[in-house]
Amino acid sequence: MISKAKKILVVDDSNTNVILLEAILGNRGYEIIKTSSVREAIPYLEHSLPDLILLDLLMPKVSGYKFLEDIRKNKHTKNVPVMIVTAVTEKESKIKTQNLGIIDYIEKPINIQELITKVEKALCN
C-alpha cells in the first residue's frame, strides 16, 4: 500500500533556507510547499491544510509571530502543527511561540539531523 506524502508548508523569506529544507525533507518523501512570505502562505491555507508548517519568525511585512497568532485564531487552521525554524534565539521568543501552541523550535543554522528527527516525530501521528 502506497501512503500519500505528508505535506509540509515552508514559510521562509530566505531562498537558501527554502532550498535546503526542500532538499532535506523532499528527499525523505515529504511534499514541500514553498512560500517566501506570509502573504504567499495565506492563500494556500485557505484551500488546503498541510500536515506541518515550518515557519521563520523574521519575515518581511508580516512577521512569523503575527502569522502564528492569526492561524491560531482561525478555526480552520488553529490545529495545524507549527514548528519554528528561525535565527531568533532569545528565550522570550521561544516562550511566546510556545504559548501560541508550536510543537517545536529549531534554531538556525539548521542542524540537519535535529530537523529530520523533529519533523519525523511531529508527523508520525
- Write the CATH number for 71: 3.40.50.2300
pLDDT digits (tens, 9 = 90+) for 29-88: 999 999 999 999 999 999 999 999 999 999 989 999 999 999 999 999 999 999 999 999
Asked whether residue 79 is domain-assigned, the answer is yes
Residue 48 domain-assigned?
A: yes
Say if CB 33 and CB 7 are below 8 A apart. yes
Q: What are phi and psi of 53, to 5 degrees?
A: -115, 130
What is the value of pTM for the model shown? 0.95
**In the predicted structure, residue 23 carries a pLDDT above the cut 60:** yes
Buried b (16+ CB within 10 A) or exposed e, 107-125: ebebeeeebeebbeebbee
What's the domain count of the chain? 1
Locate the DSSP E strands across 1-125.
7-11, 31-35, 52-55, 82-86, 104-107
Q: Which domain covers residue 21, as residue numbers? A: 7-120
Flag whether 107 is in a domain: yes
Assigned domain for 2 exists: no
